[in-house]
Amino acid sequence: MSISTKIVDDFVANGIEFVTTVPCKQLAGVIDEVEAREEIYHIPSNKEDEGMGLCAGAFMGGKRPAIIMQNTAIGVTVNTLVTLTQYYRMPLPMLISYRGELREPVACQVEMAVHTKALLNQLNIPTYHFHKESDADELDTILKYTFMCNKPVAILTDASFWGGYGDQ
Amino acid sequence: MIRSEVLREIAPILRDHLVVCNIGLPSQELHMIDDQPSNFYMLGTMGLSSSIGLGVALAQDKTVISIDGDGSVLTNFGTLPTIANNVADNFILLIVDNGSYGSTGDQPTYAGKKTSLAAVAKACGCENVVECQDKDTGEVLQKAIDSKKMTIIVCKCDSGNIKLPVITMDPVVIRDRFMKSVQA
């Protein structure tokens, strides 16, 4: 089974039916898998704070949401995470492509990578870092934890986890 | 008519539906005019009323009305293509377009100058876009609800505010009673 299939299987097993995505090369496989699943309504967003608004609405409407995005989005969404997701106490699993880590070919990505964990820490967002494929064994438990405590939770997935950039 | 007068006029229509209300004065005005558990008041996060409302509409079958402002839509322009391409026929976006950032002191917006939000919504692919004058809002809104077609309403009204208190209700209470209204 591919890692993308396993991730989306865990989403479905945890009742996630509404997924918004902002694309990333590393996340292309998992986004394709979300799109292919009948159990999930896939709604691409133009910006990550918009996506978090959609997820907040879907949660209040009775569907478990998730967002898939790059770590650069943490820079875009601080206000939304704080004044919407956290303030109204809503669950939000965030599957995040951790660009700018080992094996990164684009130098500018490192500029945001060095702030990613510090920002998440400052926001008191529980954060998990997937570096090896076996780290994803914990995803099911992380999702259960997210919907238990009604908080945004970050799952950072780096290039080593995804097997590098192929041609790099 | 100014926004609070428009809200007062449409309050009897709004009370039977799920309403997501924009940050600042619009929420404070609706809260004062006709507080309902089916109203979700935004206490922060400018720009996301339409996104939250679309999310609620896509997740369940009851009619959802997002009350937004011209300044807030300009803040989150990406919402219009998302709405156009994810049709929810139980969703109405009511943009109260007074050409100004009301909650921050009535600074003018571009929507009050050369930019037409109705034209932008149409260009983004929204199929039912109605621009109306303030006094006709109730009639247009009721027609949109009855049509059971996703509709974007741009209500042109005057700029201006009334004095009123902030909402002190706890956000989790606002969210909880709104979710109970969804489930009722």
Give me the DSSP letters along A43-92.
Answer: EE-SSHHHHHHHHHHHHHTT-EEEEEEETHHHHHHHHHIIIIIITTT--E
List residues in chain B touching A: CB distance below 8 A: 20, 40, 42-45, 47-48, 50-60, 76, 78-79, 81-82, 86, 171-172, 174-175, 178-179, 182-183
Calculate what percentage of chain A has a pLDDT beyond 70: 98
Residue B2 is given by DSSP the state B
Its pTM stands at: 0.97
The more confident residue out of A167 and A152 is A152
Mean pLDDT of A10-32: 96
**In this model, does residue B178 exceed pLDDT 60?**
yes
Least reliable range by pLDDT among A31-35, A80-84, A103-107, A139-143: A103-107
Question: Which pLDDT score, from 0 to 100, does residue A168 have?
Answer: 45
ipTM over 0.90: yes
From chain B, pick out residues whose CB is under 8 angstroms from the CB of A64: none
Closest-CA distance, A4 to chain B, in angstroms, reads 25
CB atoms A46 and B43 under 8 Å: no
- Alpha-carbon span A155 to A71, nearest angstrom: 10
**B82-112 per-position pLDDT tens digit:** 999 999 999 999 999 999 998 888 899 999 9
**In this model, does residue A166 exceed pLDDT 70?**
no
List residues in chain A touching B: CB distance below 8 A: 18, 41, 43-47, 49-63, 65, 79-80, 82-84, 87-90
Q: Which of A46, A57, A84 shows the shortest C-beta gap to B59?
A: A57
Strand B107-108 and strand B100-101: the pairing is: antiparallel
Question: Taking Cα atoms as reference points, which of A16, A90, A98 lies closest to residue A60?
Answer: A90
Question: Which pLDDT score, from 0 to 100, does residue A164 have?
Answer: 74
From chain B, pick out residues whose CB is under 8 angstroms from the CB of A65: 55
Asked if A71 and A98 count as a contact pair (C-beta separation under 8 A), the reply is yes
Mean pLDDT of B149-178: 96
Q: Which of A46, A60, A79 shows the shortest C-beta gap to B179?
A: A60
Query: Which residues does residue B156 pair with via DSSP β-bridges, in sequence order?
Result: B97, B133
**In this model, does residue B134 exceed pLDDT 60?**
yes
Mean pLDDT of B16-37: 97
Mean pLDDT of B50-70: 98
Question: Which pLDDT score, from 0 to 100, does residue B103 have?
Answer: 84
**In this model, does residue A167 exceed pLDDT 60?**
no
From chain A, pick out residues whose CB is under 8 angstroms from the CB of B50: 53
Mean pLDDT of B111-124: 97
CB atoms A43 and B172 under 8 Å: no
Asked if B105 and B162 count as a contact pair (C-beta separation under 8 A), the reply is no
Q: Which of B60, B78, B175 shows the shortest C-beta gap to A46?
A: B78
Nearest CA in chain B to A47: B78
From chain B, pick out residues whose CB is under 8 angstroms from the CB of A50: 47-48, 51, 76, 78-79, 82
**A93-151 per-position pLDDT tens digit:** 999 999 999 999 999 999 999 999 999 999 999 999 999 999 999 999 999 999 999 99
Task: Kindly tell me the burial class for residue B122, based on how many C-beta atoms sit within 10 Å of its own C-beta (0-12, 13-18, 19 or more).
Answer: middle
Cβ–Cβ pairs < 8 A, chains A and B? 114
Question: Which pLDDT score, from 0 to 100, does residue A52 have?
Answer: 98
Instruction: Determine which of A64, A67, A85, A88 to mutate to test the interface with B (most B C-beta atoms within 10 Å).
Output: A88
- Alpha-carbon span B61 to A75, nearest angstrom: 34
CB atoms B59 and A54 under 8 Å: no
- Alpha-carbon span B139 to B142, nearest angstrom: 5
